Amino acid sequence: EETYTNVTQQCWEYFVDMMRNVTASELCEWKVISRPYSILQHCLEAWADHLRYGYPNTLAEQYIFQSHHRYFHNCTLQHQVYFDPPEDVLLAMIIAPICLIPFLVTLVIWRSKDGKAQP
For the chain (119 residues), the mean pLDDT of every run of 10, in chain order, is 94 97 90 95 96 93 95 74 82 90 90 66
Identity of residue 58: T
Is 110 inside any structural domain?
A: yes
Domain enclosing residue 100, as ranges? 84-118
Check whether residue 66 and residue 112 sit in a common domain.
no
- Does 92 lie in the same domain as 48? no
> Is residue 77 situated within a structural domain?
no
Secondary structure (3-state) at 49: helix
Domains of the chain: total: 2
Note the pLDDT of residue 81: 65
Q: What is the CATH number of the domain that holds 31?
A: 1.10.150.510
pTM of structure? 0.62
Query: Looking at the domain assignment, is residue 54 inside a domain?
Result: yes
Q: Are residues 52 and 106 in the same domain?
A: no
* Count of helix runs (H) and strand runs (E) in the chain: 4, 0
